[in-house]
């Protein structure tokens, strides 16, 4: 089975790094992914996290599209409860007009933030009703189509609404999730589906089985279409790979244990802190077994096995390699190394 590789980027922010530097390093990474032949490059939506600068996927997508040539760029994903379906449709219609044939609209049902920020988003702007998520997905599909969406009034008459600027094509819509709900909705809607395996990996087999077993063909997608995300850290040696993985493992430990969130530690900070608090220790086996972690040969072998086991011909990696303290703030040395070494090993 030939395997396509894609990238999921949360735009990590490390100690001492500004958000502007983090964004610059991610845009440079998108350029490198384009040069290396990756299939797509998606930006996530998360809010109020010191270690994440990916809060506005449409803005980042536009910037990445302007700096790349062939790679598809998109959202992984837009968290629909935070936004009006019409605004999402218009933003991605504009992106499709800017980069025809290269835009993906990944849509998620989770808020991508903590409860306080969710309330703030709802108070400060036009958002959507999470209980009407399936309706809002259908609205976006209609609004971005050539025919547009038709509104019917109780008093009689109809009104047609289209997302503008009107592109020559439409963004490709994907449903994202890590639960049975999203898999079943994607199947019922005849839409492509992505399982967010980089969160925990739990429920992957069941979600894919539900999606494939319940899939209802659509005109645009007569067959089920899916890929899976996974964290990856690839280095010349296994020792360096674990060093670079440690800051992210510690961040995941903070999230899962409810500890205060901080900017992503450097490798040196993570090693020093781990020696005293053992924060990552309970999660080390999970990372080593569920991430693509290690040398190029080991990571590529694990990725091929993973792809064959789950019947997917595309894997979207989240390159979570941390940085050493002396590496430039405006570059993502470890993350670029992961893309370069893994793509080379897969192609070999």
pLDDT in tens, 15-45: 999 999 999 999 999 999 999 999 999 999 9
Tell me the pLDDT band of 131, cut-offs 50, 70 and 90: confident
Residue 94, class by beta-carbon neighbours within 10 Å (0-12 exposed, 13-18 middle, 19+ buried)? middle
Q: What is the pLDDT of residue 56?
A: 95
Is the bond leading into 38 cis (omega within 30 degrees of zero)?
no
The domain that contains 63 carries what CATH number? 3.20.20.30
Of 274, 313, 316, 324, the closest CA to residue 10 belongs to 316
Q: How far apart are alpha carbons 339 and 235 in whole angstroms?
A: 10
Using the predicted structure, report yes or no on whether residue 75 has a pLDDT greater than 60: yes
3-state class of 4 per DSSP? Answer: strand
For 201: left if phi > 0, alpha if psi spans -120 to 50, otherwise beta; the answer is: left
pLDDT in tens, 221-271: 999 999 999 999 999 999 999 999 999 999 999 999 999 999 999 999 999
- Residue 302, number of CB atoms within 10 A of its CB: 18
84: domain range? 4-347
**167-195: pLDDT as tens digits:** 678 999 999 998 899 999 999 999 999 99
Give how far Cα 213 sits from Cα of 78, 162, 184, 208, 278, Å. 26, 33, 9, 8, 43
Count: domains in the chain: 1
Residue 151 in this model has a pLDDT that exceeds 90? no
More reliable by pLDDT, 201 or 14? 14
With 90 as the cut, is the pLDDT of residue 311 above it?
yes
What's the mean per-residue pLDDT of the chain? 91
Question: Concatenated DSSP letters for 85-123?
Answer: HHHHHHHHHHHHHHSTT-EEEEEESS-SS-HHHHHHHHH
> Which residues 6+ apart lie within 8 Å of 116 measured at CB?
48
pLDDT at 138: 86
Reported in sequence order, the residue ranges of 102-225 that DSSP labels E, i.e. its strands, are: 103-108, 149-152, 158-161, 172-177, 193-195
What does DSSP say about strands 158-161 and 149-152: parallel, antiparallel, or unpaired?
antiparallel
pLDDT above 90 as % of the chain: 76
**Predicted pLDDT at 81:** 85
């Amino acid at each position: 089975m030939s395997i396509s590789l894609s990238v999921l980027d949360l735009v990590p922010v490390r100690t001492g790094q500004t958000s502007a530097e983090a964004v610059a390093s991610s845009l440079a990474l998108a350029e490198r992914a384009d040069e290396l032949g990756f299939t797509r490059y998606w930006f996530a939506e998360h809010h109020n996290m010191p270690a994440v600068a990916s809060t506005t996927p449409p803005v980042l997508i536009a910037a990445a599209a302007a700096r790349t040539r062939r790679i598809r760029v998109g959202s992984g994903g837009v968290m629909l409860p935070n936004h009006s379906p019409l605004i999402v449709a218009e933003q991605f219609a504009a992106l499709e007009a800017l980069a025809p044939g290269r835009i993906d609209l990944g849509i998620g049902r989770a808020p991508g933030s903590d409860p306080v920020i969710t309330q703030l988003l709802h108070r400060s702007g036009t958002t959507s009703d999470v209980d009407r998520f399936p309706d809002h997905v259908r609205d976006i599909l209609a609004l971005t189509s050539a025919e547009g969406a038709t509104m019917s009034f109780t008093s009689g008459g109809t009104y047609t609404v289209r997302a503008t600027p009107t592109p020559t094509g439409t963004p490709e819509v994907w449903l994202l999730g890590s639960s049975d709900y999203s898999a079943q909705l994607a199947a019922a809607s005849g839409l492509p589906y992505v399982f967010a395996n980089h969160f925990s990996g739990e429920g992957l087999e069941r979600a894919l089985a539900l999606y494939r077993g319940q899939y209802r063909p659509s005109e645009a997608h007569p067959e089920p279409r899916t890929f899976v995300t996974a964290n990856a850290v690839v280095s010349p040696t296994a020792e360096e790979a674990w060093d670079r993985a440690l800051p992210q493992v510690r961040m995941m430990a903070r999230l899962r244990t409810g500890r205060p969130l901080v900017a992503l530690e450097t490798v040196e900070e993570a090693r020093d802190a781990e020696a005293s608090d053992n924060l990552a220790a309970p999660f080390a086996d999970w990372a080593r077994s569920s991430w693509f972690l290690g040398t190029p040969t080991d990571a590529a072998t694990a990725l091929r096995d993973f792809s064959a086991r789950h019947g997917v011909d595309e894997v979207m990696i989240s390159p979570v390699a941390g940085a050493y303290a002396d590496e430039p703030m405006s570059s993502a040395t470890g993350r670029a190394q992961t893309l370069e070494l893994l793509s080379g090993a897969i192609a070999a």
